[in-house]
Amino acid sequence: MAFVKAFVNNPYQENTYLLYDNTGECVIIDPGMYTSTEQNAVVGFIMSNNLKPVLLLNTHCHIDHVLGNKFVFDQYGLKPKFHEGESETLAAVVAYAPAMGFTYEPSPLPDEYLPETGTITFGSSTLQLIFAPGHSPAHLCFYDADANILIGGDVLFRNSIGRTDLPGGNYSTLVKNIETKLFALPDDCTVYPGHGPETTIGYEKQHNPYL
């Protein structure tokens, strides 16, 4: 069963996640590390727990979720995996990062892209892919059925949903994906979002004002 460690990174207060299990293998999801302090916190946790990073995953490719991609590649030799539909979103970061005041080291490109459905494995764990665009053009969420946890990116937040006013965003698409795909998960599934505190599927069904 996988365990989750969250790190809050960069000016956007983005949640970077480490998933790891009893084998010691771990997955880095949405590395938003920007400062050396943020980088050291993630590396320190990996070292002190004797973890072995084997995968780098991006739910989507907005700047706050990919700032650490190059660092993870330099540190661990891992290239990111994400859906090919996010390629333009990633390519755009180089152009707009300076205007937003960021020094951005361009992310390496994937050797292989992730499909809309299927699974990824690491250690003794399996992550199901859930394709949920709307916030970004080809956003993926990662669900671990054994641990009953969802790494949700910027799709569903506690009492909120992802913004849809960025390129490739679409409000009705986002809501439909949440209601048909995420709300099909168990009510007690813990959702770890790209920003803010975790929540559960059941809580959001009851209380989310957008749904």
In the structure, what pLDDT confidence band is assigned to residue 156 with cuts at 50, 70 and 90? very high
Check pLDDT > 90 for residue 112: yes
Given a cut of 90, whether residue 203 has pLDDT beyond it is yes
Rounded CA separation 189/153 (Å) = 15
Rounded to whole angstroms, how far apart are CA atoms 76 and 54? 8
Exposure of 197 in the CB half-sphere (CA atoms within 13 A): 6
Kindly calculate the radius of gyration of the chain based on its CA atoms and give it in whole angstroms.
Answer: 16
| pLDDT over 90 (residue 118) | yes
Instruction: Write out pLDDT tens, residues 14-64.
Output: 999 999 999 999 999 999 999 999 999 999 999 999 999 999 999 999 999
CATH number at residue 158: 3.60.15.10
8, pLDDT greater than 90: yes
pLDDT at 176: 98
Distance CA 49, CA 35 (A): 22
Buried b (16+ CB within 10 A) or exposed e, 35-67: eeebbebbbeebeeeebebbbbbbbbbbbbbbb
From 144, 161, 142, select the one nearest 152 (Cα to Cα).
142
Q: Which residues contact 34 (CB under 8 A, 6 or more apart)?
A: 9, 10, 11, 67, 68, 102
Task: Determine the structural domain holding residue 35 and report its residue range.
Answer: 3-207
Strands 25-29 and 14-20: what pairing? antiparallel
69 with 104: CB under 8 angstroms?
no
Looking at this protein, which amino acid is placed at residue 94? Answer: V
Q: Is the pLDDT at 1 greater than 90, yes or no?
A: no
pLDDT of residue 114: 98
What pLDDT, on a 0 to 100 scale, did the predictor assign at position 127?
Answer: 98
Residue 184's pLDDT is 98
Question: If pLDDT is split at 50, 70 and 90, which confidence band does 96 have?
Answer: very high
Q: Count up the domains in the chain and report the number.
A: 1
Confidence (pTM): 0.98
What's the whole-number average pLDDT of the chain? 98
Predicted pLDDT at 171: 98
Give the residue-averaged pLDDT of 66-88: 98
